[in-house]
Amino acid sequence: MDLIDKLGQITGPSHVFSEIKGGKYGSDWTGVYQFSPLAVVRPANTSEVSEILKLANREKLSVVPMSGNTGLAGGTYAEGSIVLSLERMNRIREIRNSSRIAVVEAGVVLSSLHAAVDDHDLIFPMTFGARGSAMIGGMLSTNAGGSNVLKYGNTRDLCLGLEVVLPTGEIMDIMSELHKDNSGYNLKHLVIGAEGTLGIITAAVLKLSPKPKAEATAMLATASLDEALHILNRLQSATDGSVQAFEYMPGAYIDAFCAHFPAKKAPFEVRYETNIMVDLGSTMGAMCDTDATGKTKLTELLEEVLAEEYEGGAVLDAVVAQNEAQRQAMWERREAAAEVTITRHPIVANDIAVPLDRVSAFVSEMEQRLQTIDPGGKAVSVAHLGDGNIHYTVWPASEDAQVHSNIVEEVEELVLSLGGSFSAEHGIGLSKLPSMTRRKNQVAMQVMRQIKATLDPNNILNPQKVIPSKV
């Protein structure tokens, strides 16, 4: 039998097929990485995933897991590999209100989980622009971040347990519901962020949070990024840590957003260089109390802080959302970043993190270095300012690939000098392998290679990703 027939015996023939380069299963979201898989297989359950990996391991065929395929680092590139799509494994097995957990399969779409737990007056607090297609398995495999990391943490922080199929086909059940478990190595954290190179995540136990009873959102223009950080700290103190998101959008990004969406409005009548979206959420009774007009105490506190900072000169302008439609418009402006920034080609994308108090230094210094390397190059960055994660995207003026590489290396040099990381939340995939070679501690790299070789001696799971080949 050929491969298609063998896989068809496991999942049923209707769930195994070929794919052309550039098709749904033959391209990443950006379109930069296009490939021709050996086959696409869509298992329905963990047992079928196990049988597929047993077959692949026996015949030494590479397997690339694919969830929502919304990644930005080429992690689903699968030339000559089996694409294992988890989209059919999309059951929410259980939602438990009393312990505030959800037990879900890897193919559950993030927005579907949001809707399901909303019926229980709970939230799964991870959110980002691709929530309508991103799936839990991919989010865990890349340790996805998003806009609410400031309050709730990365995906890693929201996971209690996992079900993982190892390259041998063995099923590792570490579906713990415990907040404390010191029984040996934390294998959950080893698999999370490994981008499918050590095992395929098939299910997870996720932590839920109470749904905020009061939310307040505003756009503000500040005199500088340092002033913005000062305002963040003031708001955290004034609202008892209620800041959920604190997002930076420079003037160049606002210009690009309005050019891409002509029907949408800029946040202010005047163009400002430093634009911030702040979002607050609280379940505390005192914060949720309303006045005669229906305004919550949380909104009042937001307005009071912004008014005081306006008088002091730190805030140049501000608009506080007065209804849900205005609030969603503010969020849409920020969440369109990926769509907006890839409208031009070529682009040079960097997903970096620096300490919060060094974001301003990175932005100002990198602008000077960019103009030296690529005069006329334009940064259209956005940032999760509250956690120091900057999506430093450049529209280069030069078409020279060496210039593009020089920009990336200059970003890395500056980030390293500021005590930061060249990878914050998008993972390594293929695109950041050169950065791993240049910047990752060599002892740490060797440990990673040893772990990979031990768990996957035939190197079948998402090969040539995350860990650079030895030179």
Question: What is the DSSP pairing of strand 63-66 with strand 82-85?
Answer: parallel
Predicted local confidence at residue 186, as pLDDT: 95
The first and second tokens of residue 44, run together, are: 């329905």
pLDDT in tens, the chain (471 residues): 799 999 999 999 999 999 999 999 999 988 889 999 999 999 999 999 999 999 999 999 999 999 999 998 999 999 999 999 999 999 999 999 999 999 999 999 999 999 999 999 999 999 998 999 999 999 999 999 989 999 999 999 999 999 999 999 999 999 999 999 999 999 999 999 999 999 999 999 999 999 999 999 999 999 999 999 999 999 999 999 999 999 999 999 999 999 999 999 999 999 999 999 999 999 998 899 988 888 899 999 999 999 999 999 999 999 999 999 999 999 999 999 999 988 788 999 999 999 999 999 999 999 999 999 999 999 999 999 999 999 999 999 999 999 999 999 999 999 999 999 999 999 999 999 999 999 999 999 999 999 999 999 999 999 999 999 886
User: Buried b vs exposed e over 214-251: b needs ≥16 C-beta within 10 Å?
Assistant: bbbbbbbbbbebebbbbbbeebbebbeebbbbbbbbbe
Q: Are 39 and 82 within 8 A, CB to CB?
A: yes
Predicted local confidence at residue 471, as pLDDT: 61
Token pair 């030179």: residue = 471
Handedness of CA 231, 232, 236, 239 (dihedral sign): positive
pLDDT tens digits, one per residue of 1-43: 799 999 999 999 999 999 999 999 999 988 889 999 999 999 9
* Rounded Cα distance, 46 and 35, in Å: 26
Distance, first Cα to last Cα, the chain: 38
The domains found in the chain, sorted by start residue, are 3-85 (3.30.43.10), 92-210 (3.30.465.10), 214-337 (3.30.70.2190), 344-428 (3.30.70.2740)
Q: Are 126 and 148 within 8 A, CB to CB?
A: yes
* Rounded Cα distance, 463 and 78, in Å: 9
Token pair 């347990």: residue = 161
> What are the strands of the beta sheet with 159-165, ordered from one edge?
92-96, 101-105, 200-207, 159-165, 171-174
Beta-carbon contacts of 433 under 8 Å, excluding residues fewer than 6 positions away, are: 464, 465, 466, 468
Strand partners, 194: none
Helix (H, G, I), strand (E, B) or coil at 277: strand
Inter-CA distances, 14 with 18, 413, 435, Å: 11, 50, 41
Inter-CA distances, 352 with 390, 402, 431, Å: 5, 20, 14
Predicted local confidence at residue 470, as pLDDT: 81
Q: Is 278 exposed, middle or buried, given 0-12, 13-18 or 19+ CB atoms closer than 10 A?
A: buried
